[in-house]
Amino acid sequence: SQTIHQWPATLVQPVGSPLSLECTVEGTSNPNLYWYRQAAGRGLQLLFYSVGIGQISSEVPQNLSASRPQDRQFILSSKKLLLSDSGFYLCAWSTGAHEKLFFGSGTQLSVL
């Protein structure tokens, strides 16, 4: 069966520090991969998605970037975090069409 791993679960970082969040999927090939952000009590904002290795689509201009170095690995990065980057970050995957999404357990990021 397919599983998605996302880490870390919580992260506290100072303003201006770098960020690297990693997500891996097991049990499937060539998944679509997504990064979402959820501010406290708010909706799901799509940040990036990827339909294949090296293919990244950015939905929102910001100081974040994403990379997909391997088929089932998706990384979210920042060179310098801002206070506004705080939130709950969710990785997700789907197969084929952009339909049934399965989310990782999320990373609660606090930028202080």
Partner 1 sequence: GENVEQHPSTLSVQEGDSAVIKCTYSDSASNYFPWYKQELGKRPQLIIDIRSNVGEKKDQRIAVTLNKTAKHFSLHITETQPEDSAVYFCAASRGNTPLVFGKGTRLSVIA
- How far apart are CB 104 and partner 1 at their closest, in Å? 6
Residue 40 Cβ vs partner 1, minimum distance, rounded to whole Å? 11
Pairing of strands 102-103, 19-26: unpaired
6 with 91: CB under 8 angstroms? yes
Residue (72 or 104) nearer to partner 1, CB: 104
Q: How far apart are CA 111 and CA 102, in angstroms?
A: 26
CB 58 to partner 1: min, Å: 12
* Shortest distance in whole angstroms from residue 101 CB to partner 1: 6
List of residues contacting partner 1 (CB under 8 A): 32, 34, 42-44, 46, 49, 59, 90, 97-106, 108
Amino acid in position 65: S
What lies within 8 Å, CB to CB, of 44 at 6+ separation is 36, 37, 38, 90
The nearer residue to partner 1, 67 or 108, going by C-beta atoms, is: 108
CB nearer partner 1, residue 54 or residue 99 = 99
Under 8 Å between Cβ of 66 and 37? no
